[in-house]
Every structure is written in structure tokens, then in C-alpha cells.
Structure 1
Amino acid sequence: MKTSIRVLCLGSLLAVSAVAGAQTYGPKDEGRRFNDGSKVVCHNVEVQRNSKDPNRITGTATGAVVGGLLGNQVGGGNGKKLATVAGAVAGGAAGRQIQGNQQSKNGDRVVERRCERQYR
């Protein structure tokens, strides 16, 4: 019991120290040099904002249901089962693609300045 508590505490301390060691840099740090020869480099990145479903779960799920229903109308027996599964997979892929296209047309695209430490 005591060993498991010690292991749990040690694991928690390691996790906290890993998070605490993560450093973020902003545009004000650009060009900053460190003793190990690394420096902070910034670049512009285009990102999309205002997307309520960035993983396109809604489009995938809707497409899978519709595709499965359509696939279920085809064949009989095991062929019907196979057609249902194939329809669900194809419909899910199509729904994901359609939602992605809509999001890229309707979403706000902004340019952000992101900075990171670059090692040589």
C-alpha cells in the first residue's frame, strides 16, 4: 500500500515538473539567444477561427447514418450487411469532407504570429 502511494506521488511530481518545464515564447522574445546556441524564431501561421466542430464529428456521424441507411436498401442476407457497413463508411467519409469544405468557406481565417525555440 505504501509503495503504491509513493509511486503515485512520484508520478504526479514528474508530471507537474514536465508541465512546468514547458516554455512558451511570444513575439517580444523573437531573436532571443540562449547559452546553448538556440534562439527564438517567430513565423506567421494562418489559422481558422469560429469553427464549432473542428474535428468534423457532426458531418462524419450524419454521413455515416445516411450512408448506412442507403446501403441497407441494397442486397439481401450477408450482402445487405456488407452494403450497410460500406455505405456507413463511405457516407462518413463524404460527410466529413463536405463539412470540411463548408467550414473552410465559412470560417474566419486569421494570421497569428507563433514563436518557438529553435535548436541548431
Structure 2
Amino acid sequence: MASAQQSSTPSTQPHRVCRKVRVEDRPKDKHQIAGTLLGAAAGGLVGNQFGGGKGKVLTTAGGVVAGGYAGKKVQESHQQNHATYHYEERCYDERQ
């Protein structure tokens, strides 16, 4: 006589698992264009106060470059320290 046996293997039916996760928002100005431009303008103004003749041109150009770099870094730091977040529901199938 044949008897029915129950399978001892676990169910392979997937079930849906959902979790809310915190996601950092991307900054609106991810390349720090505003900080770079403002820094370059300020650096150019400061650099223009020094030197004379060709020296004035060089200090102005140096001020533009240094100010642009500094402005970019200031905005980048501000964006990192003042990040905004939102929550998203993320789901996946999990097998038991």
C-alpha cells in the first residue's frame, strides 16, 4: 500500500516585503555652479585691488581662479551639512 508523504522542503513561494527607507535628496545645484560663480566674482574683485599693469591682470586672474574654487568648496560643504531627505517605500520578493 502506498502512503502519502508530506514534503519537508520549505515553501518556495515568494512573499512581498516592503520597507520605508530614508533617501537623501539630490541638491538642485549638484555642480555648485552658483558658489563657483560668486566666488570667482569676489576673487576677481579682490585680486584686482593688487598689482599694477600686467601684475594687476595676473592677480585678478589668480583671484578669479582661487575664488571660484573656494566658492565651489563652500557651497559643496553647505550642501553636505544641510542635506534634505524623504522617505520611499521599497519592496522586494523574499523566499522563505
Counterpart position of 1:72:
48
- Residue 36 of structure 2 aligns to a residue whose secondary structure is helix
In the TM superposition, what is the alpha-carbon distance from 1:108 to its structure 2 partner? 2.5
2:37 counterpart residue number = 61
Return 5+ residue gaps in structure 2 as ranges.
1-22, 91-96
Q: Which amino acid aligns with 1:74?
A: F
Q: Describe the superposition over 1:72-96 as per-residue Cα deviations: whole angstroms up to 9, x where unpaired.
A: 0001000000000000000000000
- Displacement of 1:52: 1.5
Structure 1 Cα separation of the partners of residues 68 and 24 of structure 2: 23
Does 2:87 align with 1:102? Answer: no
Residue 82 of structure 1 aligns with which residue? 58
Q: Which runs of 4+ in 1 moved over 6 A?
A: none
**RMSD (CA atoms):** 2.3
Deviation at 1:48, TM superposition (A): 4.0
Q: Which structure has the higher relative contact order (CA within 8 Å, separation 6+)?
A: 2
Unaligned runs of 5+ in 1: 1-46, 114-120
| Cα distance in 2 for residues equivalent to 1:64 and 1:48 | 29
Give per-residue Cα distances to partners, 1:83-112, cap 9 Å, x unaligned: 0000000000000000000000111257x9
Between the two proteins, the alignment pairs up a number of residues equal to 68
2:69 aligned with 1:93: yes
Q: Which has the higher strand share?
A: 2
